[in-house]
């Protein structure tokens, strides 16, 4: 049995953004989990398979992208996060990296920029897999 396509999580409160990113990622043979809020995404992390990477909007109702990243780190889950935002605030880049984010894309961004950010984020991931909470491959 072959491994399923890698899972990418898209967390954004704007449905058109989730749909667009989902389509682009599926065309590149990723499985996509779409979440309208940080709380739903974090609840999904209780399952056996963690996403290879999470694309997380910074500004959402409820938990912000930074709060989502903080909770992922507090739970010691190995899920690299690439933040997305429509903000032009130059301080966000520094904040994103300081909190452990693997990149920050400003909307609108190209599919090439998205894939480059995912590859970079996954390449920076600490020694683990997207398998289980400890980063161990469960096969």
Q: pLDDT digit string (tens) for 37-89?
A: 999 999 999 876 899 999 999 999 999 999 999 999 999 999 999 999 999 99
Provide the CA 46 distance to its chain's centre, in angstroms: 16
Sign of CA dihedral 135, 115, 123, 94: negative
CATH code for 7-124? 3.40.50.2300
> pLDDT class for 125, splitting at 50, 70, 90?
low
pTM, rounded to two decimals? 0.86
Is residue 136 over pLDDT 80?
no
Give the residue extent of every domain in the chain. Answer: 7-124
């Amino acid at each position: 049995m072959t491994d399923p396509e890698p899972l990418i999580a898209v967390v954004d409160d704007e449905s058109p953004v989730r749909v667009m990113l989902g389509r682009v990622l599926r065309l590149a043979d990723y499985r996509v989990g779409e979440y309208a809020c940080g709380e739903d995404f974090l609840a999904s992390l209780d399952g056996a398979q963690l996403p290879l990477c999470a694309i997380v909007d910074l500004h959402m109702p409820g938990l912000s992208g930074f709060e989502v990243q903080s909770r992922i780190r507090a739970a010691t889950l190995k899920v690299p996060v690439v933040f997305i935002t429509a903000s032009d605030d130059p301080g966000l880049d520094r904040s994103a990296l300081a909190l452990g984010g693997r990149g920050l894309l400003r909307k609108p961004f190209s599919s090439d920029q998205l894939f480059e950010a995912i590859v970079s984020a996954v390449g920076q991931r600490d020694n683990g897999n997207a398998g289980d909470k400890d980063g161990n491959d469960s096969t």
